[in-house]
Structure 1
């Protein structure tokens, strides 16, 4: 009797409530038989370019504040516009704004706008 595969390449059981599926094979992969080709629509879909949307928001203990969605990746100009028009109006004196070290977070214009609001 053959033993089931084990180790890192063995199929994993699906979590409870999730239908089982072999996670090693992508749904758009061609069948394993020789000479099989993908349909043209699947091929085009796998090479298609997806449009990027960026979601940014302030996080408070009890809610999200100033949620904003833009088309495309965020840039310094978009971040400055977000701070100036969306986030800053919601801030109160003493609020803390935490930013990581992304390049566009180092904007002096954004920092000045936040200081003016007392945050």
Structure 2
């Protein structure tokens, strides 16, 4: 494993940052609502929130140095069939010859046809996350749909 990790890091010197395409997903569910809200003094904070059956929405996107590209929205979690359709219908058309697609080791990324679809148009695929130890990179660009984190109490409020 150490040799593979060192090979990956050494090969990065040869990669052109403009040709890198990072692929990732994030999801949100309807039960991701804020538990607290702000209202004028003496008034209740009343906001409608979904109840009952929770729904999951998954956003899959590719990130280049120029920004987010090839964005897709799915109802439910990512699975192999959906991910393969995303790659063939959304990602491959925006790739250019010489691009390197980097994705993690999610099971859906390893289904038959995903790597082949990318390589069939002359692209390189890298799955480095098995080689990398440490935390995940910041996903702020993909996290916008998840909403704001809870805010602390205002200092001027009593």
- Normalised by the size of structure 2, how large is the TM-score? 0.45
2:67 alignment counterpart: 63
Distance 1:66 1:102 in 2: 18
Matched, 1:80 2:46: no
2:97 alignment counterpart: 93
Corresponding residue SS for 1:108: coil
Q: Which runs of 4+ in 1 moved over 2 A?
A: none
Larger Rg belongs to: 1
Structure 2: gaps of 5 or more residues:
1-34, 37-48, 124-158
Higher strand fraction: Structure 1 or Structure 2?
Answer: 2
Distance 1:118 1:93 in 2: 6
- Normalised by the size of structure 1, how large is the TM-score? 0.59
Corresponding residue SS for 1:114: helix
Structure 1: gaps of 5 or more residues:
1-25, 28-41
Matched, 1:50 2:54: yes
Q: CA deviation at 1:62?
A: 1.1
